[in-house]
Amino acid sequence: MNQPNPASFGRLRESATVSGYGLRYAWRTARVWWYSAWLRTLARFSRTFFGSFWLGLSNLLSVSLLAMVYGTVLKVQSPWDYAVYLGFGLTIWGFISQSIVTGCSLFSTRRDQLVNNALPALFYCLEEWAFQIQTFAQAFAIVIAVAAIIKPIIVAHALTTMWLPLLNLLLFCFWALGSMALLGARFKDVEQLTPILLQLVFLLSPILYRKDSLGPLSLLADLNPLYRVLESVRTALIDGRINGWNEVANLAINVIVIASLMRLLKLFRHRLPLWA
């Protein structure tokens, strides 16, 4: 019987690693990482009566309570409009912040899988991203449905102007999650520092209050990339306005950054298990 050639195993291993990175790999394995993320959602609520509906219900209850409290404290003129404004802001912010925070510890929590499985690190980024999208979608859909009762024009905006800003939001959250996963694996302090910074950014961003309330400090909001991504989606939904050229430019930037992130994941593929 012929003995296997060790060199052939080396070439096979190398080719499998190289083909396991990039947009092509993400597309070919989309059903796998999406379904894997969905199984996590099902397992999370496997013994509850409402199932994953709790994701949207808990978010809606939080928004309702905060809208009532802050609407009274800030003495808003139109409480219902403020509830819509706050609902979209908090829901989108939750998606952004949760993607970033979970990204910080992604590779450390998946260390055993990185060491023992042949799946590339990109797969775990895609799976976590899909999980965050599914969580966000269920909360976001319920907020849109309730907001549409208050302001019916939101339905038309959700069917027309929302999609390009929403696509940019999803892509932004992917590369933010992947970037923080790399940083969190290499520098352990990132996991501790990120929630603190996000809390400060949240308080300085016009999410609970209107941007014009900042006065001269509104420049802080303009320089805040997290807020700008959030506000693009919220404005498209509430007012039906988008800046087409800005959204196209943001889309191009997101694609370039994602391509760069995938190259970095490939470059550091052998170091990640050691870092984690």
Is 191 in contact with 104 (CB distance < 8 Å)?
A: yes
CA distance 193 to 2: 56
Over residues 119-124, the mean pLDDT reads 90
pLDDT of residue 18: 38
pLDDT, position 62: 83
- Which ranges constitute the DSSP H helices of 29-120? 30-44, 53-73, 79-104, 106-109, 111-116
Give dist(CA 16, CA 101) in Å, integer: 30
6 has a pLDDT exceeding 90: no
Give the residue-averaged pLDDT of 232-250: 93
Core vs surface per residue 88-113: b (16+ CB within 10 A) or e: bbbbbbbbbbbbbbbbbbbbeebeee
Residue 78 has pLDDT above 90, yes or no: no
Say if residue 75's pLDDT is above 60: yes
Closest to 226 measured CA to CA, from 186, 143, 168: 168
Once rounded to an integer, what is the mean pLDDT over residues 218-230? 86
- Burial track 39-69 (b if 16+ CB lie within 10 A, e otherwise): eebeeeeeeeeeebeebbeebbeebeeebee
DSSP 3: P
pLDDT band at 197 (very low <50, low <70, confident <90, very high): very high
* Closest residue by Cα to residue 229 from 95, 136, 137, 107: 95
| List of residues 6+ apart from 144 with CB closer than 8 A | 154, 158, 237
Q: Give the 3-state secondary structure percentages of the chain, helix then strand then coil, rounded to 5.
A: 80, 0, 20
Q: How confident is the model at residue 1 (pLDDT cuts 50, 70, 90)?
A: very low
pLDDT interval class at 53 (50, 70, 90): low
pLDDT of residue 222: 81
Report whether 202 contacts 221 (CB < 8 A). Answer: no
CA dihedral 74, 77, 83, 88 (to 10 degrees): -90
Q: What is the largest CA-CA distance in the chain?
A: 85
Sequence-ordered list of residues with C-beta below 8 angstroms from that of 85, at least 6 positions apart, any chain: 210, 234, 238
